[in-house]
Structure formats: C-alpha cells, structure tokens
C-alpha cells in the first residue's frame, strides 16, 4: 500500500515548477465537444446467434471527441477501443464493455484536450466462453478477436473516406492515426498492427480439429472487411450454411494506421510480425496471472465462471523485442530520459515501446486503469463496480505520459521533446561528479558536486512520472533537501548541472 499512498500524494502535491504547455504533450485545451453515435460502418454480429441461429447486421458507432476552439486542420486521430473481454457488460461483471466506459470517456477527453480528434468506437463482440466444447470456445474467441480487428480497420477507413469524399468534416490528417486498445481492445490492436492477410493464420494452433482453420476470408471476410464472407454449404464450422458473416465497408480505402498502443492484451502469434509493421506500444501489469507477458497459455480472457481454454499467445515481453529486432519500432526508439521512460526499464531493461506497470504484491485488478462511473453503470443485477477514479486516473497519467512523446515521433507531429530527452546531455552521476546520500533516507538528502560543477536544479518525481517537488536556481555544489512532506517510497531525482543532466532513484523511509 506504500506505493498507492505515494500515488495519492502525488495527485495532491503542489507542482512547484511552471512547465510550458505543448500541444500533443499536455492538455492545452479547456473544453471538449462530444458528438455521440456517429455511424462508421455495419457488419455481421454473432452476438445473438444462440437465439436467432443467424448472424445479423450490426451498426457500428463511435463517439467523437474534439477540442473546442481549435483552428488546426489535419489533426491527428486516435481511435480508442474499449475493454470488456469481447463480451456484453451483462455477461461479465456489469462494469465495462462499451465506448461509454468511464475510463474510455476520461482517456478520450484527455487526448482531445491534448489536441487530438478521438473516436471512441464500439466494435462487434460475442463468443462462447462457457461452452463445454473446447474447440467451440477457442474458435469463437479467435473469431471475436478477428471481427474486432476488422472493425478497428473499418473505423480507420471511415475517416479516410470522410477526408476523400466528404470534405474532411472532422479535420483529421489521414496519415496521422493511432489505434489504442484497452484490455480486450488490446488484442485487437496487436492483431490490427501485425496481421496482413488471413492466410498468415494458417498455423497449427489456429486450426481446429473439429472445424478446420479458425479464420478463412471466404467465411469471415478479409482483414480489412472489404470483402463478403459467406459460410459455404457443407462447411464443418459452427455457423449455418449460406450465412453472411462479413459485409464489405468503405472499399478502396486503406485501413492502415501509424501507431498502435495495446494497454493489456496479447498477440495471437509472433509469426505475424514483420519489419514493416505499424509501430507498436505494449503496456503490461506483471502481476497479471491471466495473460502472459512472454509467450504462454492464456489463462482466461474473463473471470470465472468462464471455462479455461488452451490457447498460446504472446504478450509485450515477447512481442516488443521481436518488433525492435526487425526495425518495426525504429521511429520511436529515442533516448528518452523522462521519469516514465526511465521507469519503463525496471522490468529487465528499457525496451522501446514496452512499459510494465509495477506492483509490490499481486493485484486482483488485472486492469487497474479501469474504473466505473457508478457501482452499476450498465444496470446489471448484483453489479458492484470499482469506482476508484483516483487510482484509475493515476494509471492514465502514466499511460498518456508514455504515449505522448512516442506518438509525436510516430505520427510526425513536430513536438518539442526537450522535457522528455536530454540526448547527449544525459549523464551519469560520475560524469556530473555528483554524490547523493544517505540513500535510503529518512529526514534529509544531501547533494554534493565539485565546486567547479554547481547544480542548476533538482527535481523529484514519483514513479508515475509526476513532479512532486522542484528546486530551481540552486547554483551551489552542496545542497540539502529536507524531506518533510514527502511520503515514504521511491522517487526519481533529476539533477541538472553545467555538464548535463543525471537521474537517480532514491528511497524514502
């Protein structure tokens, strides 16, 4: 609980340093306009298959968030995919599962205040988590991930088409698009960033002994959902003959995007990764026992009473090193020295695009960024949702602090990244001739450099990257900080001197 106390304090601690605000890095707009339920496509859903024995067309809607009084044209677009285990809220716990989730609304609002146009999009959901037939559970899960991936790329093409045919009413740049997936939406982001053709899925683990290949473009449509998918007569799969499972949307437009960020989730198989894939960020909670960080068996996509299944997937600990080795993340491989970037190296070293959240003890909340607007936001019987917005918003702080500078690079936004990287000015303690003691500390912390190298500033950040104390215009080589007012825990201290900037983790007891 020590770390949580530190996070709570950091939210309330006064910021002692006035930092220049920059579009795409900070929330520079005060107001956000929201347009609800824009139709971006239509496709076949199996959500009601048990009742209708038929896939039926489903309208696909998004809520659009835009900064008010923004004169920019050609703005970057962020497509935000909600969590929810690819199931209805009523099927899971009644807390998450749509574009109206509290976490989605908060994140979309923040991104719009940063200057983005944000599309919080619903997508097709539904699979069979409680079927006693293992093949059916696996088959329907893989197809649910695929359908959601098609919808994510359909959403991209909707905006591409709006630029080309409707006069760009949302004033977005067609080549500056990010897709961000939360939890279950993370599976869609991984697949949308890596899967080029459905034939790449013809691998043993995605071939069902009972049904054959789990994905076929003649049945499910192609990856972009620009072709029809119809079940042929005699197909051994679980869907009725001649049923239409995919309708084409926005033919002739590209579903490609320039950055993906998966906050949770995993990739169905690393064989999909190629060197020209979309740059990718993967975030992970290491105490999550359900989804592997490397390659392993997916425990459950959702809590009990859903039945387990034997599906091997790969998390960001596996995906991102492969990505980087093939050059997929070269554009975001930058010498960042901000606290959040440094903290990203605490799980085995810094890997471009990979951020692990740390937990002192295993946590039953496998998506701690999620919170609900009420204990029962979807009117589900016996729901008791976590409404701890303070905790959830602190995680969103870190998520967006990690995302923002990397999105600036991947999307070519021309941001001033001075506050995120010191490049050649980044030094070690020895190079700065700096000593810090005692460490761990209780009441005071002493900073010493040589008389020829006085310190310019000393900044304390918590491990979520928030500035909690700052000393500017230090101008001396010996400086003592009294630690009263800082709660016990770990802090990243950045010290600027004549020769550059050094950073050191210190422990307060």
- The 10s digit of each residue's pLDDT in 426-437 is 455 666 778 899
- In CATH, what number is assigned to the domain containing residue 446? 2.60.40.3080
* Kind plus residue range of the DSSP H or E element containing 158: helix 134-165
Task: Name the band, by pLDDT with cuts 50, 70 and 90, for residue 502.
Answer: confident
Q: Is 12 among the domain residues?
A: no
Give the lowest-confidence range in 59-68, 318-327, 445-454: 445-454
Residue ending a domain, choose from 384, 410, 436: 410
Q: Are 471 and 457 spatial neighbours (Cβ–Cβ below 8 Å)? A: yes
Residues 342 and 293 in one domain: yes
Residues 392 and 491 in one domain: no
Report, as an integer, the average pLDDT of 493-501: 79
pLDDT at 506 over 90: no
List CB contacts of 83: < 8 A, sequence separation 6 or more.
96, 97, 101, 103, 182, 183, 184, 185, 264, 367, 370
- In CATH, what number is assigned to the domain containing residue 302? 3.40.50.1820
Residues 33 and 63 in one domain: yes
Residues 270 and 325 in one domain: yes
Q: Which sign, positive or negative, has the C-alpha torsion 262, 268, 271, 272?
A: negative
Report, as an integer, the average pLDDT of 180-205: 97
List CB contacts of 72: < 8 A, sequence separation 6 or more.
115, 171
Closest to 74 (Cα-Cα) out of 1, 179, 176:
176
Q: Is 200 among the domain residues?
A: yes
Domain that holds residue 489: 423-508
Q: Is 299 among the domain residues?
A: yes
pLDDT value of residue 7: 40
Q: Is 4 among the domain residues?
A: no
Report, as an integer, the average pLDDT of 145-162: 98
Residues 60 and 90 in one domain: yes
User: What phi and psi values does residue 71 have, to the nearest 5 degrees?
Assistant: -90, -5
- Alpha carbons 292 and 298: distance in angstroms, whole number: 7
Report, as an integer, the average pLDDT of 4-11: 36
- Alpha carbons 492 and 483: distance in angstroms, whole number: 14
Report, as an integer, the average pLDDT of 250-276: 96
Residues 190 and 138 in one domain: yes
Q: Is 417 among the domain residues?
A: no
pLDDT at 462 over 60: yes
Residues 404 and 428 in one domain: no
pLDDT value of residue 306: 67
pLDDT at 311 over 80: yes
Q: State the greatest distance between any 2 C-alpha atoms of the chain, in Å, as a whole number.
A: 85
Q: Is 308 among the domain residues?
A: yes
pLDDT in tens, 106-145: 999 999 999 999 999 999 999 998 888 989 999 999 999 9
Residues 346 and 484 in one domain: no
pLDDT at 422 over 60: no
Residues 400 and 451 in one domain: no
Residues 221 and 333 in one domain: yes
Residue ending a domain, choose from 382, 410, 438: 410
Domains contained in the chain, number: 2
Residue ending a domain, choose from 363, 382, 410: 410
Q: Is 480 among the domain residues?
A: yes
pLDDT in tens, 22-68: 999 999 999 999 999 999 999 999 999 888 889 999 999 999 999 99
Its pTM stands at 0.82
Torsion of CA 157, 159, 163, 167, to 10 degrees: 130
> Hunting for tokens 């972009």 — which residue is that?
224
pLDDT value of residue 207: 96
Report, as an integer, the average pLDDT of 359-386: 81
Q: Is 10 among the domain residues?
A: no
pLDDT value of residue 443: 93
Residues 261 and 288 in one domain: yes
Residues 383 and 442 in one domain: no
């Amino acid at each position: 609980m020590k770390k949580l106390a530190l996070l709570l304090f950091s939210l309330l601690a006064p910021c002692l340093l006035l930092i220049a605000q920059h579009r795409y890095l900070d929330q520079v707009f005060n107001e956000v306009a929201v347009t609800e339920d824009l139709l971006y496509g239509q496709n076949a859903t199996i959500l009601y298959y048990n009742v209708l024995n038929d896939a039926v067309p489903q309208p696909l809607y998004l809520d659009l968030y835009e900064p008010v009084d923004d004169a920019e044209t050609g703005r970057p677009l962020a497509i935000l995919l909600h969590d929810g285990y690819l199931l209805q809220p009523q099927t899971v716990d009644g807390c998450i599962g749509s574009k109206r989730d509290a976490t989605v609304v908060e994140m979309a609002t923040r991104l719009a205040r940063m200057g983005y146009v944000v599309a919080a999009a619903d997508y097709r959901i539904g699979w069979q988590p409680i079927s006693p037939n293992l093949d059916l559970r696996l088959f329907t899960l893989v197809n649910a991930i695929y359908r959601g991936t098609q919808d994510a790329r359909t959403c991209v093409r909707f905006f591409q088409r709006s630029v080309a045919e409707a006069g760009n009413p949302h004033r977005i740049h067609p080549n500056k698009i990010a897709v961000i997936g939360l939890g279950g939406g993370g599976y869609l982001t991984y697949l949308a960033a890596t899967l080029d053709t459905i034939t790449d899925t013809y691998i043993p683990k995605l071939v069902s002994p009972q049904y054959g290949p789990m994905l076929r473009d003649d049945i499910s449509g192609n990856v972009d959902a620009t072709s029809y998918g119809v079940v042929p007569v005699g197909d051994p799969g679980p869907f009725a003959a001649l049923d239409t499972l995919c309708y084409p949307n926005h033919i002739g437009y590209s579903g490609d995007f320039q950055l993906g960020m998966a906050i949770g989730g995993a990739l169905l198989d690393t064989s999909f990764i190629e060197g020209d894939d979309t740059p990718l960020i993967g975030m992970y909670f290491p105490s999550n026992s359900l989804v592997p960080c490397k390659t392993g068996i997916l425990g459950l996509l959702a809590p009990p009473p859903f039945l387990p299944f034997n599906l091997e997937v790969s998390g960001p600990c596996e995906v991102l090193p492969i990505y980087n080795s093939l050059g997929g993340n070269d554009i975001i491989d930058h010498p960042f020295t901000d606290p959040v970037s440094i903290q990203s190296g605490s799980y085995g070293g810094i890997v471009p695009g990979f951020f692990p959240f740390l937990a002192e003890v295993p946590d039953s909340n496998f998506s701690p960024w999620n919170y609900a607007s009420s204990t029962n936001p979807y009117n589900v019987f016996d729901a008791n949702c976590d409404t701890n917005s303070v905790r959830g918003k602190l995680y969103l702080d870190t998520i967006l602090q990690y995302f923002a500078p990397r999105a600036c690079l991947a999307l070519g936004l021309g941001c001033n990244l001075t506050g995120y990287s010191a490049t050649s000015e980044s030094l070690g303690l020895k190079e700065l001739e700096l000593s810090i003691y005692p460490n761990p500390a209780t009441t005071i912390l002493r900073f010493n450099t040589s008389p020829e190298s006085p310190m310019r500033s000393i900044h304390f950040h918590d491990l979520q990257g928030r500035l909690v104390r700052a000393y500017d215009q230090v101008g001396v080589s010996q400086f003592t900080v009294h630690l009263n007012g800082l709660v016990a825990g770990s802090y990243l201290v950045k010290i600027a001197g004549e020769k550059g900037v050094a950073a050191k983790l210190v422990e307060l007891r």
